[in-house]
Structure 1
Amino acid sequence: MFPLEFPLGILQKHARAGARVLDPFCGRGTTNFAARLLALRTVGIDASPVAIAATRAKLVAPTPGEIIDEVKKILQQRHNSIEIPEGEFWKLAYHIDVLRDICLIRDALLNGLVSSRVAAALRGIMLGALHGPMGRTKHSYFSNQCPRTYGPKPAYAVKFWTKRGLLPPRVDVLAVIAERARRYYGNTSPEIVGAAIEGDSRQRSTLEEAREVIGKFDWIITSPPYYGLRTYLPDQWIRNWFLGGPASVDYSSRGQISHSGRDRFVDELRKVWANAGAHCKPGATLVIRFGSIGDRLVEDPAQLVSDSLEGTAWVRSDVRDAANAARGKRQADTFHRRRSAPLDEVDVWAKWQP
């Protein structure tokens, strides 16, 4: 994961007009959004429905009014047939009126009752507002006190809220959505050819589909899952529920790079680089941000990435210290007393020379 300034700075400085940009591990769609801001064609790939929803939200341009009017229509058509999750977690996570509004919007999106352009934007807004810190005077999220970047596990969250006497606020769902709609879609962005594909970048067919959308790639800017980081799917379980998943933690690892051993991890990354390279123009540039996580330090992040490039036509051209992992407040620190250690990150550059 990296800030917008990372891919935007690279593309602004180095990419020519009309360049095609790929991110085979698109996550929140940061690379794709950077490409869009520069009117470059772009495709993102990810196995996570949450990641794909977040990316698609960055590639559409409805007006704030269109989004707000759609939400008003949904919330006015109240009915009793919607599915509302039950249990202690849900009672403490959301005020009952807020949860009902969330479920009304969820139901409308799942049943295709919203136009595709507005639906993509509304999904992204809802995923961002589902959980986060409670404000003292103003609410920006729908939930009780939570981290914004991951969904807390039910047992821990219930204990946390109960011990501190925290009750879910009665949030004005429409107001939160309206504010975010104006913030994210109030300014016109360039209309570009772009897509987010839910799929596995280890599969050749997935990269073939991506190339069919925008043509051969000039740039790949990405950050694969760090070795040992297996928690993305369970950490996003509330957002996954909103997209149609179960109302419980999903501990599966479908579509994810294997973390069962270093050699297998490197081999699976190699498949991604080779598959992507097969659809690149000669001289295309690959930029990989990679690092270590606290419980599974690799001998050298740059070496692991370099090993994954061996046996492909990618030729490493540079390794740079990312030098930004310790800046700012850590996202996970809003829900825990102990602060997590910052990551050591590097940027590995390579050229496609078939």
Structure 2
Amino acid sequence: MRKKIDTNNKLDPKIRLNTICPYFTMFPLSFPYRVLQSSKKSDIIYDPFCGRGTTNFAARILGLSSYGVDSNPIAHAVAQSKLQYVDQNHIYSRCVDIINEYDAIDIPQGDFWELAYHPNTLISICQLRNYFINKELLDDIDISLRALILGILHGPRMKTQPSYLSNQMPRTFSTKPNYSIQYWRKNLLSPTEVNLLDLVERRSKYIFNEHQVKKVDGAILLGDSRSLTNTFENKITRVITSPPYYGMSTYEQDQWLRNWFLGGNDQVDYTNRAQLKHGSESVFVNDLAKVWANTAHRCTPDAKLTIRFGALPSKSKKTPRELIKESLTLADCGWEISTIRSAGEPKSANRQANQFKGTTGNYVEEIDVYATLNT
């Protein structure tokens, strides 16, 4: 019998890796962990909308192999770190080597950057950025360090020692440049110098401690789960996921600063790439159906599918139940719903709909959908 872990205790050394980078569309670790409690050791877990890798980390805690796919490069970079097992000293040493050996090129200019980071801190950030975007193949230490930097790239200013590299900012998403400039100037906030190496050393000791969970097999892919052609080594037996809610289409734009660190533009890019279309409910449902159909091709007969889903009151005329039912029916590949349960109203910041608190009125009840593949 598996020994249970309190996944709500973020201070538990075994699950600190899951906190490596805040990501505002994450769902709680307790959800996939609870669902996977009944899994067999031979089960292969899959999340076609893996986000920051919460399902994959839950699988790892339980000793299960898993795969994840996401079209967002930030999500991909963070989720990859959830499958790594590294020594905290190696993280710090690698960072020291990069700072000593790499130049800071393409240092962005302008009011935002002058107010967002102290010049010396920005130089260190750009040295790391240069290294990551120019190295052809990242090893496990690189992947872990990159995710750690994404997690400390921006956040609130602390009264004691700094926990983030930036001037005052949210930690879960990147405020847009014009708003940030106005806020900093209005509140007379100037960036203070933060020693990146010191912060990396402290953060790596906290996250990559001696109590890390044993590494398992698996992979995180950057791609479009509607049309993914990659074949996995083993057939999927359990699918656990939480698709974007209808109307939530600015994942990359709301993470634009982290996207810049990964090699993106130093301005907000509003083009949408390989993500679900949100032009209308019918278009959205059609795209979801493509994901369910593509997923079914990678599954064993009798594979289990669990979906957490909700809606934004101002966006959707249909209920989450209606949208999910329509998408599974349209997929026409054998997914049969066995149970739909209420997940209640979003209560914490790790629910998707919580990001719209105060702007969309009352929450719509979230649901957990359970289905089986009958082929």
Same fold (TM over 0.5): yes
Cα deviation 1:126-152 (Å, max 9, x = unaligned) = 111111111111211111111111111
Return the offset for 1:55. Answer: 0.6
Are 1:260 and 2:279 an aligned pair? Answer: yes
CA distance in 1, matches of 2:98, 2:342: 48
Distance 1:92 1:114, change over 3 A: farther
Three-state SS of the structure 2 residue aligned to 1:196 is: strand
| 1:144 partnered with 2:164 | no
Q: 1:347 maps to what in 2?
A: 368
Residue matched to 1:33: 57
Query: Secondary structure at 2:249's aligned position in 1?
Result: coil
Does structure 2 conserve the Cα–Cα contact (< 8 Å) formed by 1:98 and 1:142?
yes
Aligned pair 1:48/2:42, yes or no? Answer: no
Q: Deviation at 1:299?
A: 2.2
Correspondence for 2:4 = none
One-letter code aligned to 2:263: G
1 CA distance for matches of 2:237 and 2:284?
A: 26
Which SS does the other structure have where 1:316 is aligned? strand
Residue 212 of structure 1 corresponds to 232
8 A Cα contact 1:131 1:141, kept in partner:
yes
- Contact 1:43–1:194 (Cα < 8 Å) also in 2: yes
Asked if 2 retains the 8 angstrom alpha-carbon contact of 1:149 and 1:332, the reply is no
Q: Do the aligned partners of residues 148 and 333 (structure 1) sit closer, same or farther apart at CA in structure 2, a change above 3 Å counting?
A: farther
**Where do 5+ consecutive residues of structure 1 fail to align?**
none
Query: Which one is further off, 66-75 or 170-179?
Result: 170-179
In the TM superposition, residue 24 of structure 1 has moved relative to its aligned partner by: 0.4
Q: Which residue of 2 aligns with 1:76?
A: 100
Residue by residue over 1:276-326, the C-alpha shift from the partner in whole angstroms, topping out at 9 and shown as x without a partner, is: 112211111111111112431342111111111102310011111112612
Q: For residues 191 and 252 of structure 1, do their structure 2 counterparts lie closer, same or farther at Cα, with a shift above 3 Å needed?
A: same
Structure 2 CA distance for partners of 1:309 and 1:98, relative to 1, 3 Å:
same
**1:321 corresponds to which letter in structure 2?**
S
What TM-score do you get using the length of structure 2 for normalisation? 0.87
* Distance change in 2, residues 1:298/1:219 (3 Å): farther
Aligned residue pairs: how many?
Answer: 346
Distance 1:273 1:329, change over 3 A: closer
Matched, 1:275 2:301: no
Equivalent residue for 2:28? 3
Give CA-to-partner distance per residue, 1:155-174, whole Å, 9 cap, x none: 01100111011111211211
Q: Is the 8 A contact 2:27 2:352 kept in 1?
A: no
Root mean square deviation of aligned Cα:
2.3
Matched, 1:182 2:205: yes
* 1:84–1:11 distance in 2 versus 1, CA, 3 Å: same
Supply the distance in 1 between the matched residues of 2:351 and 2:162 (Cα, whole angstroms).
Answer: 21
Q: Please point out which of 154, 158, 177 is paired with 1:135.
A: 158
The AA in structure 1 aligned to 2:164 is Y
Identify the match of residue 306 of structure 1 among 295, 313, 325.
325
Match in the other structure for 2:124: 101
Quote the Cα distance in structure 1 between the aligned partners of 2:160 and 2:313. Answer: 36
2 CA distance for matches of 1:322 and 1:332?
13
Instruction: Specify the alignment match of 1:244 in structure 2.
Output: 263
Greater mean deviation of Cα atoms: 108-117 or 184-193 = 108-117
Partner Cα separation in structure 2 for residue 165 and residue 203 of structure 1? 48
Corresponding residue number in structure 1 for 2:225? 201
Aligned equivalent of 1:285, options 297, 304, 323: 304
- 1:64 alignment counterpart: 88
SS across alignment from 1:322: strand
Q: 1:9 to 1:337 in 2, by over 3 A?
A: closer
SS at match of 1:273: helix
Q: Distance in 2 between matches of 1:330 and 1:220?
A: 19
After TM superposition, give the deviation of residue 65 of structure 1 in Å. Answer: 0.3
Distance 1:267 1:115, change over 3 A: closer
1:117-132 to 2 correspondences below 5 Å: 117-132=140-155
Match of 1:327 among 348, 353, 359: 348
**Contact 1:298/1:304 (<8 A) preserved:** no
Shift of 1:204: 4.5
In 1, the alpha carbon distance for the partners of 2:277 and 2:191 equals 38
TM-score by length of 1: 0.92
**Residues 1:295 and 2:314 are matched in the alignment:** yes
Assess if the C-alpha contact under 8 Å between 1:147 and 1:331 holds in 2: no
Greater Cα shift, 124-133 or 322-331: 322-331
Alpha-carbon offset, residue 179 of structure 1: 2.2
Partner of 2:344: helix, strand, or coil?
coil
SS state at 2:341 partner: strand
1:343 is displaced (CA, Å) by 5.4
Counterparts of 2:73 and 2:247, CA distance in 1: 21
1:37: how far off? 1.4
TM-aligned CA distance change 1:22 to 1:160, over 3 Å: same
In the TM superposition, residue 116 of structure 1 has moved relative to its aligned partner by 1.1
Identity of aligned residues (%): 40
Q: What amino acid is the match of 2:334?
A: A
Deviations 1:172-191 (A, max 9, x none): 21122122212221123222
